[in-house]
Amino acid sequence: MNAIAGLDLGTSNCGVGIMQEGQPRLLTLPEHGAFMPSTLYAARSEVIAGWLYRQLKAQGREAAFQQARGNSLSASLHALSEAKLDGYEDELFFGRAALSHYLEDPSDCYYIRSHKSFLGGSGLSDRQQQVLEDITAAMLWHLLGQIQQAGHGEVRKLVVGRPINFQGFNSERSNQQATDIIRRAARHVGIEQLEFQYEPMAAGLTFQQQLTEEKRVMVVDIGGGTTDISMVLMGPGYLDRHAPENTVLGHSGKRIGGNDFDVALNYRALMPSLGMGLADEKGRTLPSQPFHDAAAVNNLSAQTRFYSTQHRNELQALQRQPTLKPLSRLLTLQANQMTFQQSAVAEQAKIALSSQAETRADLSYIEAGLEAKVSQGQFVDASQALMKQIGGLIDDALEQAGTTPDVVFLTGGSASSPHIRQALSDRFVAEMVQGDNFGSVTTGLALWADRIFN
């Protein structure tokens, strides 16, 4: 039995949407529940292609992938065998299982979170793009397997959500690069027909089902990696009578999302506990660059700098000064490759602040008993620059539309932040509607897959 599906290959979480009895539904993934965190764990990055080849070969689908990888596949298969001989896992892990394996020994593994953030990155070498393609294909393979385990057959036709822009700079080239990577990955795992739909449009399709009259709707989709703003005409039956692109009055998007709020909160509220803001013996405040690089887990260049030998040597020299002893904590973060772990702590603090004024972040993985107090005020201060950029995206969409919204429809993981909701409420007199922050896009993708493939 072949099936069709909508897939939200999200920056923070992945979800699958299917149609059941004429209605779009979130599929419960047997190993993950409604959503799978967008994480992957491997013993080494070079084993990923070999693992994927092994899965494809078991179903007789390895030929095209083998041809595409050429000699590099032999090296990957050798690395996979060596990893097993050395006592490492020769399997990949996804979602929460990936995080659990990573936390067992962060310094001795390959762990990636939010790989979608890198797909449109400028300056990626062919090899880097190939690694991202393999990661994407591995995640798709796993998710397609989850659909089968849930009893919905093999998926050969798929709609994947995409942001309006994967990156802010040179967006046309960035978007082409990112979608090409996803297309190639999908072909590797057996997808015969792949279509993309803009994530805010997909969220709007779900909301549109509730309307009884035409409305000008501003869809504000603040996801894990991107923010997309769309001004759309919606109404009852529009999905059947109008192509979505013909109802768009204006849209804008940029790579600003929940991950960036995590980075900002990490830098503002957690990094002072690791030495940020201290002064050396001559009264000079420490440079902020190492702390920013440590927090910026969604920036490959920043992470490369932070883990460099040069950074380590500079930090070791500085922490010998009596006033800079707390820098040993930053060195511990670096030596044990804990930046993703700290980012997850910042994310949990952000989530806690959506329902309380203050929380405490447990940093005992760095030093026994270490914690940081995190407040709503710190989150507001940390997110000012990001909110200004989101305001600019709204201005752009409004200018294109030449009108104001009747309804503001909020969706995306960061849409639950009271600070963000309040900022939008202060700006618009329109009705404010809170969608399913995580499921609106996914169910909308299922609706669109049903529309174009059936």
Residue with tokens 């979480």: 13
Res 438: pLDDT = 75
Res 418: pLDDT = 82
Looking only at the bridges linking them, the beta strands covering 154-162 and 193-198 are parallel
CATH of 214-256+385-436, one of 1.10.287.3510, 3.10.180.10, 3.40.640.10, 3.30.420.40: 3.30.420.40
Q: Which pLDDT band, with edges at 50, 70 and 90, does 172 fall under?
A: confident
Q: Is the pLDDT of residue 415 over 80?
A: no
Q: Which pLDDT band, with edges at 50, 70 and 90, does 338 fall under?
A: very high
Res 350: pLDDT = 93
Q: What tokens does 419 get?
A: 């600070």
pLDDT in tens, 244-268: 667 889 989 888 888 999 999 999 9
Q: Is the pLDDT of residue 169 over 70?
A: no
Q: How many CA atoms lie within 13 A of 285 on its CB side?
A: 7
Q: Which pLDDT band, with edges at 50, 70 and 90, does 373 fall under?
A: very high
> For the chain, what is the mean pLDDT?
90
Question: CA 432 to CA 425: how far, in whole Å?
Answer: 7
Res 293: pLDDT = 96
* Sequence-distant (≥ 6) Cβ neighbours of residue 40 within 8 angstroms: 48, 92, 93, 94, 98, 111, 112, 115, 135, 138, 139
Domain ranges of the chain: 2-191, 214-256+385-436, 259-383
User: Is 409 in contact with 219 (CB distance < 8 Å)?
Assistant: yes
Looking only at the bridges linking them, the beta strands covering 39-42 and 93-94 are antiparallel
Q: Is the pLDDT of residue 343 over 80?
A: yes
Question: CA 104 to CA 415: how far, in whole Å?
Answer: 32
Res 239: pLDDT = 64
Res 379: pLDDT = 94
Of 61-70, 266-275, 409-418, 430-439, highest mean pLDDT: 266-275
**What CATH number has the domain spanning 2-191?**
3.30.420.40
79: exposed, middle or buried (Cβ count in 10 Å: 0-12, 13-18, 19+):
buried
User: Is 199 in contact with 161 (CB distance < 8 Å)?
Assistant: yes
Q: Which pLDDT band, with edges at 50, 70 and 90, does 181 fall under?
A: very high
Q: Smallest Cα–Cα separation from 200: which of 226, 181, 174, 182? A: 226
Res 170: pLDDT = 66
Indicate if 214-256+385-436 has the same CATH topology as 2-191: yes
Question: CA 189 to CA 186: how far, in whole Å?
Answer: 5
pLDDT in tens, 118-152: 899 888 899 999 999 999 999 999 999 999 999 99
Question: CA 40 to CA 223: how far, in whole Å?
Answer: 19
Cα angle 396, 429, 444 (rounded to 5 degrees) comes to 65
3-state DSSP call for residue 14?
Answer: strand
Res 339: pLDDT = 94
